[in-house]
Amino acid sequence: MAANRRKLKLGIALTAVVIVAVGVGIGTANAGTRGPWHSSKPARTAPRTAPTKALPTKASPAVSSAAPSATSSRTASTAPSAPASPVTSASASASATSSAAPGRWTPPPANATFDYQIGGAYTPPSGTTVVSRDSEATPAAGIYDICYLNAFQAQPGAESWWKTNHPDLLLHDKNGELVVDEDWDELMLDFSTEAKRTALTGIVGGWIDRCAAKGFQAVEPDNLDSYTRSGGLLTQTQAIAYVTSLASRAHAKGLAIGQKNTAELSSANARKAGLDFAVAEECADFDECDAYTASYGDNVIVIEYSRSGFAKACKAYGSRLSIVLRDVDVTTPGSESYVHEAC
């Protein structure tokens, strides 16, 4: 199931002033070009489309000079700088803030009014108490903020950085060729050994640290299910080991960490990994929500992209889970395709 799950990302063009291509940017949902998602039920394997226009390059999050500054979606940025120090973050309460305490974290509140803003930050609709934004965005004031980042694959624009600095952390097939996730046209990261997982945790950990420093309360690492698209080169056991190390890093910074999709992950493995909540795309549309509630109870965020899936989710879980209907490109208000509704 998760092998065919549509993820949220959008290709963003590099500007001429880019010094080093690094893995940072805005994530968006996009059903792609292989099938007309708007004419029928979206194909779960449809790839993302390229952007219709260039978006401005953003300032680089601060991490060590040996790693890209962050990874979330599609934007490349300038050369990374020194690591940032933690700063005050918002609390789990929608109305109060407090300093994030290492070793103490709180998952998003259940049955919250949620908004998915990884396609671009904007003033949350009235009543919103939880929002997920790209790691490059500023957290929304006064509510619970989740930091979206891509932890298991390298987005377009960052390939040369990985090839130059960490070619050993890119997945290669038996012929030595780089493995590309054909669904999303991304190079896959290699977390097959303990040494590689440790190295990747050092890089992605810098991005997690940055989320904490900016004031987010949780992280949402995407592509946990990349092993299902690796042609057997990666395994779920390896993915669990890797996300476990990311969870430890997040918790050490006072951040909760969410399971992104991957409905086949068992409750036992979710507990083993130290995951705190779930972010599930189209779980009602594909009859998967129970897989997440079995692990996390009511601490499940549901994003539906079809009116029918949203109605189904609200009918079955509207009094328990955080449910939102969004347009498949996760656009901002003012866009002709913008859709936002919560139940």
Stated pTM of the model: 0.74
Whether 255 contacts 219, CB under 8 Å: yes
pLDDT digits (tens, 9 = 90+) for 123-167: 999 999 999 999 999 999 999 999 999 899 987 688 999 999 999
Region 298-307 average pLDDT: 98
Give dist(CA 47, CA 68) in Å, integer: 24
- Whether 231 shows a pLDDT value over 70: the answer reads yes
> Which H or E element spans position 212?
helix 194-214
Residue 84: pLDDT band with limits 50, 70, 90: very low
Q: State residue 2's pLDDT score.
A: 37
pLDDT digits (tens, 9 = 90+) for 6-59: 444 433 333 333 333 333 343 434 432 222 222 223 333 333 322 222 222 222
Domains and CATH numbers, the chain: 2-342 (3.20.20)
Q: State residue 183's pLDDT score.
A: 83
Whether 228 contacts 5, CB under 8 Å: no
Supply φ then ψ for residue 189, to 5 degrees.
-85, 150
Give dist(CA 288, CA 269) in Å, integer: 17
